[in-house]
Amino acid sequence: MSRTALRICPLCEATCGLTLTIGEEGRVTGARGDGDDVFSRGFICPKGASFGQVDADPDRLRQPWVRRGGRLEPASWDEAFAAVEAGLAPLLAEHGPRATAVFLGNPNVHTMAGGLYPPLLLGALRTPNLFTASTLDQMPKHVSSGLLYGDANAVPVPDLDRTDHLLIIGANPLDSGGSLCTAPDFPGRLRALRRRGGRLTVVDPRRTRTAEAADRHLAIRPGTDALLLFALVQVVFAEDLVAPGAVGEHLTGVDEVRRLAADFPPEAVAGACDLPAEEIRTLAHELAAAPRAVVYGRIGSTTVEFGTLTSWLVDVLNALTGNLDRPGGAMFPLSATARAPRPPRPGKGFALGRWRSRVGGHPEAKGELPAAALAEEIETPGEGRVRALIVIAGNPVLSAPDGDRLDRALAGLDFMVSVDPYLNETSRHAHVLLPPPPPGQSPHFDFAFNAFAVRNQVRYSRPALPLEAGRLSEAEILARLVLCVSGRGGADPAAVDAMAIDAALGKAVADPQSPVHGRDRGELAAHLTGVDGAERRLDLMLRLGPYGDGFGADPEGLTLAKVLAHPHGIDLGPLRPRLPGLLKTRSGTVELCPEPLAAETERLRRTLESRADGLLLVGRRHLRSNNSWMHNIPALVGGSNRCTLQVHPKDAARLGVADGALVRVKGDGGELEVEAEVTDAVRTGVVSLPHGWGHDRPGTRMSVAAAHPGVNVNQLIDGSRLDPLSGTAVLNGCPVQLTVVAPSA
Ligand code: SF4
């Protein structure tokens, strides 16, 4: 008999609830949207519908691999963890923690264990060398939030369901599913906006599916979003449209922003942005006049030279027009596992550059160094050289600039561990490869994405399938890794969760504002429920969270048992204003004009005079893809999901490029050959190549991806170009040249 099981989809940030069909043979044979899910209401996309193929991919590794005599060979779990300890211990003893580094890939935030154990691993390893996908993506938003609100994780999201005017910059949620804005059924939410008379404007050099659904599409020159936003801010000031509303009493630095913006009237930026000044002015008027409006920027606006400045200006514009922290504007979610709100008071503020990378001297941001600097940290001899690397769910050879260089650097490591389900372009260098089970055999809770959700809600999925014989849960793999780096590889992994629980309860009982202040932590721990340590930790976070039962203080509050009793989730209501309570700045205000951003403005001003002509490269996202992870799924490759270079017909005619021609693309970081796709979906002067491709290296085991390898766009990109405040790689708006190699690819 087949059966069904509920499972939150982990394949993008939208977190849709799925109903899985489990066939008699004990495999996922189908997936459809869960119509009763409190958040997604039955929505599903082609990736979610392919959950069964993702889960049962025969190329997924089923057991650990250990390098012996230079070759990776299958091993038992005990052998693998013994090899981890044997590989790391002498390096740590001789060179200390600085000789180690950790890379956390983007799928970490799509698993429950990925949210729970990496902080413990970093605590045990004590390395200053943390690299993550954030510096290839959204770190500018974290830095701007840190500077504005004192909390890098306080990221306001567009209140999609109540806004009247949505301005999207550099995002394509109809293909990505939404990002830093967790919103199942983005298409339906945008249709609802239009139905209630709202307006949608999209700023993007490509006519994306989202741009096609908009009332207005502004095909801006890549990399100039900060100029556009400054011009909008200038109009708001110059025409006396500043009306911050209730948030006004918590804002400082407004006059300083006014002075900075004065240099950027629409007429001054129009040439650089390649947008008519009048259109910029109209957009500012519309934003200011809409009863409820919101500006939302994503990856196209962050992975650029002025990413942090752009991210900051998005929030500045929302604040000045009265759309920060109010319904229909940009609001701060409050997830069920967040810290419970406290009375407002000044905090410690946000510090950048508490330490610097050894070779390039890059400042840390949020405890991280730029992913683009990982290769030089491995390659460059000297005290503190990175000799050992732990990669968890990451494939930086494909996702970071100049993957060829990183590929060579990884081959020179003394020791490397990969926690990854695949033998891919990065994990092929590992000395020990630890594969987690497929999602169907794993529990799921969205620690990260609930903090960016457009509606507060809580949902938890237990594994839909039992663990296959011979597999370890991802929680156990990561807990054992924590023990290995602590030199206690033989200890019971449950001890890791017990220590984490004890430490969290210790803090809570000592906190005068906690509902458990003064209670006995042992007594509290005994109340925790769950089938394993990970579930007990979730129970603890729910109970002490903003909606929690406070271990009995509020009998109606959340516990794990209560969440489990609601398999379609619990709706916790629309987003509510949270200022000034969430502020952690030293002033206790929203510091609208932080000094590092004022300094960046001077650098931006200089770009008004210097404009590069020639072609600029941008990335693109496809509905059936998510970075490099899903290129091994037959249902998701092929069709329109192809790795081609999109070229506008006018540029194609000028350069003699025919549709389907093989062209050589040369960038500051390297060159490659790829098939051209002539289309007016990109604006003139811009070419577009998707990321995550380039599956043509030997020694991998991803047969479908290898049959559709594509090319790696990051090979074109000069890894030394970073947004200086956040260390984020400049992946968009990079100059390239095109030549025809052959009339047909
Ligand atoms: S939109 Fe995202 S979360 Fe929803 S089904 Fe598709 S991949 Fe899964």
3-state secondary structure 150-200: CCCCCCCEECCCCCCEEEEECCCHHHHCCCCCECCCHHHHHHHHHHCCCEE
Please choose from 8, 11, 459 the residue to mutate so as to test ligand 1's pocket, defined by most ligand atoms within 8 A of CB. Answer: 11
Q: Does residue 640 lie within any of the structural domains?
A: yes
* Residues 207-239: tens digit of each pLDDT: 999 999 999 999 999 999 999 999 999 999 999
Instruction: Give the distance (Å) from ligand 1 centre to CA of residue 109.
Output: 14
Q: Is 463 in the pocket of ligand 1 (CB under 6 A)?
A: no
Regarding whether 190 and 110 lie in a shared domain, the answer is no
Please choose from 13, 32, 44, 110 the residue to mutate so as to test ligand 1's pocket, defined by most ligand atoms within 8 A of CB. Answer: 44
How distant, in Å, are the alpha carbons of 283, 544, 548 from that of 578?
A: 28, 18, 18
Q: Is 16 in the pocket of ligand 1 (CB under 6 A)?
A: yes
Q: Is 33 in the pocket of ligand 1 (CB under 6 A)?
A: no
Backbone angles phi, psi at 295, to 5 degrees: -105, 135
Q: Whose CA is nearest to atom 6 of ligand 1?
A: 45
Instruction: Give the distance (Å) from ligand 1 centre to CA of residue 642.
Output: 20
Closest CA to 299 of 217, 208, 214: 208
Instruction: Give the distance (Å) from ligand 1 centre to CA of residue 144.
Output: 28
Regarding whether 216 and 110 lie in a shared domain, the answer is no
- Which two structure tokens, joined as six digits, stand for 307? 């990413």
Regarding whether 391 and 273 lie in a shared domain, the answer is no
Q: Is 184 in the pocket of ligand 1 (CB under 6 A)?
A: yes
Task: Give the CA diameter of the chain.
Answer: 76
The residues, any chain, with a CB within 8 Å of residue 152's CB and separated by 6 or more, are 142, 143, 145, 146, 350, 366
Q: Whose CA is nearest to atom 2 of ligand 1?
A: 12
Q: Is 12 in the pocket of ligand 1 (CB under 6 A)?
A: yes
Instruction: Give the distance (Å) from ligand 1 centre to CA of residue 583.
Output: 32
Q: Does residue 454 lie within any of the structural domains?
A: no
Instruction: Give the distance (Å) from ligand 1 centre to CA of residue 4.
Output: 18
Q: Are strands 100-104 and 388-392 parallel, antiparallel or unpaired?
A: parallel
Regarding whether 296 and 163 lie in a shared domain, the answer is yes
Instruction: Give the distance (Å) from ligand 1 centre to CA of residue 170.
Output: 20
Regarding whether 144 and 36 lie in a shared domain, the answer is no
Rounded to an integer, what distance in angstroms lies between the CA atom of residue 280 and that of residue 608? 16
- Tell me which residues of the chain have a pLDDT lower than 70: 611-612
- Which two structure tokens, joined as six digits, stand for 620? 């693109």
pLDDT at 612: 67
* Structural domain containing residue 682: 612-742
Please choose from 45, 621, 641 the residue to mutate so as to test ligand 1's pocket, defined by most ligand atoms within 8 A of CB. Answer: 45
Boundary of a domain, candidates 19, 39, 56: 56
Work out which ligand 1 atom sits closest to the CA atom of 15: 3
Regarding whether 27 and 162 lie in a shared domain, the answer is no
Provide the CATH number for the domain around residue 599: 3.40.228.10
Closest CA to 689 of 647, 635, 632: 647
Instruction: Give the distance (Å) from ligand 1 centre to CA of residue 411.
Output: 35
Q: Does residue 452 lie within any of the structural domains?
A: no
Q: How many domains does the chain have?
A: 5
Instruction: Give the distance (Å) from ligand 1 centre to CA of residue 685.
Output: 33
Burial 36-58 (b: 16+ CB within 10 A, else e): ebbbbbbbbbebbbbbbbbbebe
pLDDT at 610: 72
Regarding whether 329 and 267 lie in a shared domain, the answer is yes
pLDDT at 148: 98
Q: Does residue 348 lie within any of the structural domains?
A: no
Per the confidence metrics, is the pTM higher than 0.85? yes
Please choose from 6, 8, 9, 190 the residue to mutate so as to test ligand 1's pocket, defined by most ligand atoms within 8 A of CB. Answer: 9
pLDDT at 1: 84
pLDDT at 628: 81
Instruction: Give the distance (Å) from ligand 1 centre to CA of residue 12.
Output: 5
Regarding whether 151 and 9 lie in a shared domain, the answer is no
pLDDT at 261: 98
Rounded to an integer, what distance in angstroms lies between the CA atom of residue 292 and that of residue 568? 31
pLDDT at 637: 87
Work out which ligand 1 atom sits closest to the CA atom of 51: 8
Rounded to an integer, what distance in angstroms lies between the CA atom of residue 422 and that of residue 58? 10
Instruction: Give the distance (Å) from ligand 1 centre to CA of residue 371.
Output: 27
